[in-house]
Amino acid sequence: MTETSTNDDVTDRQLRLLIGLVVVGASIATIGWVLFLLRNPQPFPPIWAPALLSIAVVAANRLKVSVRIRSSLDGTTWGEVPVLVGLILLPAPWVVLCSVAGVTALKIFARQGSRKTIFAAAKEALTASAAGLVFLACGVTPSLLHPSFAPLAIVLALTAFTLVDNVVFVPVMAANTRTSLKRAALTNSKRKILGFLGQLAATLLVAGLLAAEANMLLLLVVPLVVACMHLWQSRSARTREERESWQRLAKATDELNAVDLTQVLHAATTRAAQIFSAAEATIDVTAGGAGRTVRATESGVLTDGPLVPAPVQRDEERVDLVAHDGGVRVGILRLGFGGAVRLTEVEQYKLRTFASAVCTAIRNAQAYAELARIAAENEHAATHDPLTGLANRRRLYEHAGGLYQSTAQSGLFALLLIDLNHFKEVNDTLGHAAGDDVLREVAGRLSAAAVPGDLVARLGGDEFAVLMSGLPTPALATHRATTMLSALDASIEVEGMQITVDAAGGIALAAGSGGVEELMRRADIAMYQAKRTGEPTAIYVHARDTADLERLMLTGDLRRAVAEHEFTVEFQPIVDLGSGEVVSAEALARWRHPAQGSLTPVQFLETVERSGQLPAFADAVLEQSLIALQSWREAGFDLPVAVNVSPRSLLDPKFPSAVLARLTRHEIPPDQLTLELTETLTISQLDVVERALAELRDAGVRLAIDDFGTGISSLSVLSRIPVHQLKIDSAFVAAVETSAEAAAVIRTTVDLARNLHLTVVAEGVESEPQRRALWELGCLAGQGHLFARPYSAARFLAALQRGSGGRPGVLAAALHDAGAVVRMPVRRSGRSSLPHLPA
């Protein structure tokens, strides 16, 4: 037996019991009136009086204002009025008899079945008896010739009639609709109170007229008064019900405005049961992959699971969940009422409107879930190694950066860098497939040996890393590293051969400054020290770091380098990947050291930042960049220039005014200068940085984020700093043809830039296949050795004038015919900048 049929049996037994109790009560009341007549004989009234009263009862009960509750009707009639008026004119037993006869005749005529007829007759006997007892208790003597006006008795009798009616009817309604007694009693309470007041007013009016005139013809006024009040009440109730129903529909539609499918389905089913007064509401979702069925009452969700197709039920209303245009169907909404119900035309329209809203909400939630799935896959591809499934370099940097910034970090953390010795021999001897098997096995063993909370990553090739966190003491780092490497001691079987993996590890404890790059550098130094000494692991020791000694030597030369103008600037063109035209230039600082030769910023910038010479260095680079820009403008090439800026410069409150002063001195529009920022801007003094950048941006200076995607908080930087341009790191560009991960990062960056109306520039473009792959991914600008190496300002201008293919300002052949795609224009005069283009 199904759950539904079991519930129906329980409901039927409850109804039989309740109706039986009502019939017993009516029988007792009837016996009581018979005994009353035996003790107090009453003369028979004229035959026309009971007949007229019975007709009035039928007419008054026909005028009914009904509200559907599931498959039952809860209504307010005017049957109390003729009963109360009759008690003024006729003895109570006759009134009870006439009211029971009238109601019985009405139910039989309406063919409502024996159960409803018996219940209605019994209920009428009880309610009329209650009113009659009140009149007897108040000492009201009924009289056709001289009726009395007893307002107190009328009020008390109507109250008794109403109370008995609710005591009898509410439990039956609750059982039939499977709701609580409280809910059944309070349903439409406002309408019931208004009905009570209307019945009282009509009764008092008629009773007053009868008492004043004592003319039985005034009984003819009763139907007219009742009809007028009924029309008013019906219209008010219908208007109020429709207004509340539409309000509930509007509220339900608002609740459907969610992106979680489960939330949408739960809200839709519970609200559908409430709006349409259904016992249950069910939604069968058939679109979007896996089917799903959600069943609920207005109180809450009953079941939520796989699709359970159900046959059409007799007492069920079904509507397809389709869009407004009827073109897309996502499932079915089923309303179960527990009995036969015929929805009105207005309810049908509301049901279709609600179904359309549910369809739209489900489609939106499914679309959002699909986008979230794709985004999660792209994010996973961008932060994980496709071969081993471990975290990649980017994910390692993000996690390490988070540890540096975390104020809740418990204990120390360290980086273990692992390199497999002689791994190239495996690839050369057994092939790359066998090498991949070895790498996967190594990844699995390292992951198994890692402590919960540690991050195991593959950095590329045969290089792995483990970020160890929660270290109570520095010495534990060496112990953990030894445990990790010992997991590689056992031989690995590859293609039937036993291979032993030998590895070296370098350990670096997190320093108070320097960040992730410095941590990686120190671990790398320690790893090569372990290789040189033949030990499995080595920990970084500052005294053995020759790079620090070199920085100390450079620090002593800085003041001389600034004074003697040893810092120079070279310029690398930024090119429209589609047309080959130069659209901008990046300024690259160089130190022409008299003893060590040409040094790049990687070799000296940290030393400059720590020396106190940073303002002078930054001013020198900016001055040379603006002079070069002026010379290009005079030659007819109006190109903006991009200058790298150190995060430490942005902490100087004088920096923005110094930049703007330089621009004014050279009469260069601010939008011709782009300041390239690194993602290390997530430092503790970010508020100061934001103020400096806001001042520069408000003045018109353009901002770019360099090496986007390699920092530890790319999106957080974008959310805090309003930039104009993103630059894709050369590591992603180098792998764009061979790595799905790199392509995914670039595609995601381009999509993000398009949504934020930013431009994208790819760094390190070395080959035509890379150029075309970037262009097809939507990246429209790039720089790299494919187009030109960094030049001095004079050689840069010469390259522009010389051009390519007889076209000045062009450094490469176009990938497309002129006009085939949107081109990145370069204006030869006036103001220009790298434009915002659709990516």
Q: Where do the domains of the chain lie, and which CATH numbers do they carry?
A: 9-245 (no CATH), 256-375 (3.30.450.40), 393-544 (3.30.70.270)
Q: Residue 360: is its pLDDT beyond 70?
A: yes
pLDDT confidence of residue 214:
54
How are beta strands 641-644 and 673-677 bridged, if at all?
Answer: parallel
Strand partners, 471: 412
Rounded distance, CA 174 to CA 176, Å?
Answer: 6
Q: What is the pLDDT of residues 557-607, one digit of tens each?
A: 777 787 788 889 999 999 999 999 999 999 999 988 887 778 877 777 767
Phi, psi dihedral angles at 463 (to 5 degrees): -105, 125
Residue 749's CB is within 10 A of a number of other CB atoms, namely 26
- Confidence band, pLDDT 50/70/90 cuts, at residue 821: very low
Rounded distance, CA 583 to CA 576, Å?
Answer: 6
DSSP state, residue 821: S
Residues 468, 414 contacting (CB under 8 angstroms) = yes
Burial classification of residue 363, based on how many CB atoms lie within 10 Å of its CB (0-12 exposed, 13-18 middle, 19 or more buried): middle
pLDDT confidence of residue 708:
78
pLDDT confidence of residue 2:
40
Residues 759, 781 contacting (CB under 8 angstroms) = yes
pLDDT confidence of residue 119:
79
pLDDT confidence of residue 219:
56
pLDDT confidence of residue 836:
37
Place of tokens 């069968």: 284
Q: Residue 67: is its pLDDT beyond 60?
A: no
Rounded distance, CA 251 to CA 246, Å?
Answer: 9
Rounded distance, CA 95 to CA 29, Å?
Answer: 13
**pLDDT greater at residue 482 or residue 253:** 482
pLDDT confidence of residue 71:
44
Distance (Å) of CA 322 to CA 245, 260, 308, 443: 22, 19, 20, 50
3-class state of residue 43 by DSSP: coil
pLDDT confidence of residue 29:
79
Within 8 A by CB and 6+ apart from 432, the residues are none
Q: What is the CA radius of gyration of the chain?
A: 44
pLDDT confidence of residue 300:
85
Rounded distance, CA 605 to CA 590, Å?
Answer: 10
User: What percentage of the chain carries pLDDT values higher than 90?
Assistant: 21
| Residues recorded for the chain | 839
Phi, psi dihedral angles at 656 (to 5 degrees): -60, -45
Rounded distance, CA 535 to CA 131, Å?
Answer: 105
Look at residues 492, 484, 472 and name the one whose alpha carbon lies nearest to residue 417: 484
Average pLDDT over residues 480-485: 90
Rounded distance, CA 159 to CA 200, Å?
Answer: 9
Within 8 A by CB and 6+ apart from 407, the residues are none
Residues 704, 642 contacting (CB under 8 angstroms) = yes
Residues 51, 68 contacting (CB under 8 angstroms) = no
Structure tokens at 622: 């900016």
Q: What is the pLDDT of residues 530-566, one digit of tens each?
A: 887 778 889 887 766 655 545 555 666 777 787 788 8
DSSP state, residue 791: B
Residues 804, 811 contacting (CB under 8 angstroms) = yes
With b for 16 or more beta-carbon neighbours within 10 A and e for fewer, the 605-643 pattern comes to bbbbeebebbebbbbbbbebbbebbeebbeeebbbbbbb
Question: The pTM is what?
Answer: 0.42
Rounded distance, CA 125 to CA 131, Å?
Answer: 10
Least confident of 147-156, 339-348, 527-536: 339-348
Distance (Å) of CA 628 to CA 224, 539, 607, 722: 100, 47, 26, 27
Distance (Å) of CA 343 to CA 348, 351, 402, 593, 690: 6, 9, 60, 90, 62
Structure tokens at 519: 């941590």
Q: What is the mean pLDDT of the chain?
A: 79
Distance (Å) of CA 35 to CA 31, 32, 39, 41, 90: 6, 5, 6, 10, 18
Distance of CA 536 to the CA centre of its chain: 49
pLDDT confidence of residue 239:
66
Both ends of the chain: CA-CA distance in Å? 62
Distance (Å) of CA 75 to CA 113, 156, 189, 523, 727: 18, 22, 11, 83, 72
pLDDT confidence of residue 622:
93
Place of tokens 């990790």: 484
Per DSSP, which regions of 393-436 are E strands? 412-421
